[in-house]
Amino acid sequence: MSEISRKALREKEAREILAKFAYQLKLNHTQLPRKGRFDLLSVEDFTIFSVDGKPFVVGRRERLVPALQNIEFIAMLPRVVVDMGAVPHVANGADIMAPGIRKVEGEFAASAVIAVADEKFGKTLAVGVALASSDEMRATKKGKVIENIHYVGDLAWNSTKASG
Considering the domain 5-69 in this protein, what is its CATH number?
A: 3.10.450.120
CATH 3.10.450.120 region(s) of the chain?
A: 5-69
Task: Give the CATH fold of the 74-151 domain.
Answer: 2.30.130
Give the contacts of 127 (CB within 8 A, at least 6 positions apart): 58, 65, 66, 68, 74, 77, 113, 114, 115, 116, 149, 150, 151
Q: Give pTM, 2 decimals.
A: 0.91
Q: What is the pLDDT of residue 34?
A: 85
Most confident of 14-23, 26-35, 57-66, 139-148: 139-148
